[in-house]
Chain A
């Protein structure tokens, strides 16, 4: 079973990565993550918003209300400079972890 720390770490990386591309509101963010990971990562509302609020408290992302051309009000999130700084070490750590796991599984399969 994947521990909550690992889940949280991957979620933070996923959110920061999609926001690096463009500002997004919560629903769009969840869809984008699901599409880009081909359904491997799915965020329900219950998982997404507590995470977004926590990241906003840490000033990694910033949310602001915007009105779309159809008149719908949504809270759009942007990655902040603090979040951008956090993203590169996160990517490195996860790349190291997955690299290590790949090596390990190759060795055990040999």
Chain B
């Protein structure tokens, strides 16, 4: 008797699905081929003829792989990507930006970090909004929770947590150096200092705050999931 699962597995090597989902597809197609072949045999065909007729159901396995892949993944990825990454990421960004604006308008004065020369501050100056920094762990935790609830991977959760600092990262790593190169009115002697101070105040410190809350939430969420699994087993 023919091993239809081995045959289908061999022909669908390019099928990229989650292992469990892939195994399901292979088992289902193999069962279909097996039943078709049995039917031909019942009708009196020789085994070779039945197998040949059965296999003629699929003219192009590569095309079938592509069609299954598109049918099972395309719509899935779109909705999953939104649930697991884009929605939590945009919510954390929106919330952190909104909170920063509120703190800038209604909150206490920012903390200015700079070298002092007599009574005056010397550039580069870092403007740090402490209440904002303190609120970021909560926002990071929310990003982790939402991504987790949507079934997101650790990578998706990580992306959602640090998403609010990405615009600043792009600014300091790409926009500022480009401006420094093309704008001759910028004082180049303070640019490197400003770059590092800015990176610390707007990327590293907020990123660390977001990650502190987000990773802690991830840790507790995964522990809760583990305990549920243990209880369920």
Contacts and interface: CB of A to CB of B under 8 A. Distances in A.
B32 interface: yes
Contacts of B154: none
Contacts of B71: 50-51, 53-54, 57
A57 B35 CA distance: 25
Contact of A74 (B25, B31, B76): B31
Contacts, number: 59
B170 interface: no
Contacts of B28: 26, 49, 74-75
B58 interface: yes
Contacts of B35: 27
Contacts of A72: 31
Contacts of A45: 29, 32-33, 36, 57-58, 64
Interface residues of A, number: 20
Interface in A56-95: 57-58, 65, 72-75
Chain B residues touching A, majority SS: helix
Interface size range on B against A: 20 to 34
A46 B62 CA distance: 11
Contacts of B70: 50
Interface of A: 25-27, 30, 44-46, 48-51, 53-54, 57-58, 65, 72-75
